[in-house]
Amino acid sequence: MANATTPLLADDRRDADTSSNTLSDPEEDVLRGQSRATQAGRSWPSRLRESLLFAWALLATAGVLVLAVWASHNQQTSFDKPAGKRNLIFMVSDGMGPASLSLTRSFRQYTEGLDHGDTLTLDKHFWGSSRTRSSSSLVTDSAAGATAFSCGMKSYNGAISMLPDSTPCGTVLEAAKKAGYKTGLVVTTDITDATPACFASHVDMRWQNDDIAVQEVGNGPLGRVVDLMFGGGRCRFLPNGTEGGCRADNINVVDMAKNDYGWNYIGDRAAFDEFWEGEKEVPLPMLGLFADTDIPFELDRRNQNDVYPSLSEMAKTALRALEKATEGSDQGFFLMIEGSRIDHAGHGNDPAAQVREVLEYDRTFKAVVDFLEESKTPGVLVATSDHETGGLSVARQVNANYPQYLWYPAVLANASSSSEYLAHRLHAHIAKTSNASVDELREYINEKLVIPGFGIHDASDEELTALATKPEQAQYLFAHMISIRAQIGWSTHGHSAVDVNVYSSGGPGAEALRGNVENTDVGKYLREYLNVDVDAVTKELNEKMTSKRRIGMVGQEATIDTDNEVSPEVGDHWVAHEEMEAQRQARMHDNVLLLGAIWD
């Protein structure tokens, strides 16, 4: 009898007379993996048959594996389109990389006294990551990034919904409008900037803002495709030579929008508040331009709350307006919301400004999630970034000694102004006191800007002298002061090629965006969820636009030769941003002086 230590195939024979279950020699040979053929040598027909059976089994197994992989991929990249009315909100955190989330999460925990397990709303809806390269570079710009979202196709840096072969591509917003959806764009930058432009216009290069403005209000190949626009960039809609205007021509686009395309227009916080506070329903189409160029950084805007609305306020107002406008419709709405100035804070290497921009974006994300949960109409929220900006590192080695494993959120918490705002004030002061000595400037910078604006009381002589003698570099110098003390690192004033996060509320087909995807996959999901025909829009655009494209007002177009390349300096959006900031400073000189007088 076998016991607990008896091997499974122990040669423990039972008496043939006492058990009818005793194995015959051939049976036992089989259990032992042997046979008489094995012992005596198998014939070649037998070996051939076994080889063929093995090959068949191997091929069958491979086939099953291929089918399983195909089925899994197909499940992730396609889905049954939802039936019935639906809403789609797409959010873009321009320039926000994974490090920005780490920075902001820890900053919030520090400033609000929260446990380390208390996370951002974004963290709770993390979905995957996205690759960001464009067709022309491993490091994309916002135009190519937004074209990937709007058209679902790769293009070159600078392209506003145009492809490398110089043809236009239809956008999800345009297709949604043609399918009966209401559409909207909400941003904190110039509304003609790359991201919003890529959903409602088509030009060769992003710096063609004047042409983008007229297309956005409806003077383009498809007519009016947007129902609501909130943001900055008012100067792009006003004629050259008029107060607040920065166009190169004399076209009043605000008047064109109202008179030719039926837009309602609001241009200040007071007018916005009538809708924000619920006193009025928002009539569509609605154009709201609340700043000459960009709406100030949230860090500065909160000190001017009576002048500029926040991203979350504009987003909530847009959501209510679009929901109300689609109450009796079979179709819902498509809304693109961009946290635009996260990118600008990255370009300026200003961590104090960036962390407040991300916090406001997170508040806006939560507002959208809450809206979807309360809405009677099914909807999905998808959010991602076009790229990372600044090469942010949440640590910095500040000397040659062994690096410290820390960074200081308290330094960012002490800041009440952005480096951009302090630079504006310095420039205004120098313009007002052109004969001031270096020592006088050093004292002003320290006492009136650095201490009250940053809460920094240990500015070095070298730092103050650099600011006094190189005021044209003031923004970067101010930003460096706060970054070095917080021990926050940056690798560039431009973009980086790092993968960016994808977030979602979840919903039909959203699993297609799980894992690591291309930015074009995000664009393809948007069109598939709405079940709209972007290809048909592309076909229509190509019938109406030539390879030597004619852009601008319908009837007053200018021919653009697409063979001439634009220099990187001309096409760089941060250079253009700084030029616009210089223009804004000149236009608002008196206002800045007034603020300076109040601070002084």
Q: Which residues are catalytic?
A: 142
* 126-131 vs 500-504, strand pairing mode: antiparallel
Give the residue among 60, 499, 115, 574 at the shortest CA–CA distance from 347: 574
Separation of CA 467 from chain center: 33
- CA gap 242, 254 in Å, rounded: 13
Q: Which two three-digit tokens encode residue 56? A: 């068949």
For 387, the enclosing helix (H) or strand (E) is none
Helix orientation angle between 351-374 and 419-432, rounded to the nearest 10 degrees? 130
Q: Which two three-digit tokens encode residue 216? A: 């956005």
| 358 close to 104: Cβ distance less than 8 angstroms | yes
> Tokens 């069109």 appear where?
527
Please, which residues have CB within 8 angstroms of residue 355's CB and are 6 or more apart in sequence? 103, 104, 107, 412
Number of other CB atoms surrounding residue 96 within 10 Å: 30
SS3 of 298, please? helix
- CA gap 474, 455 in Å, rounded: 17
| 264 close to 228: Cβ distance less than 8 angstroms | no
SS3 of 129, please? strand
Q: Which two three-digit tokens encode residue 444? A: 């002003």
Judge residue 392's burial from the number of C-beta atoms within 10 Å of its C-beta, 0-12 exposed, 13-18 middle, 19 or more buried: buried
Please, which residues have CB within 8 angstroms of residue 353's CB and are 6 or more apart in sequence? 297, 298, 299, 341, 344, 345, 418, 419, 420
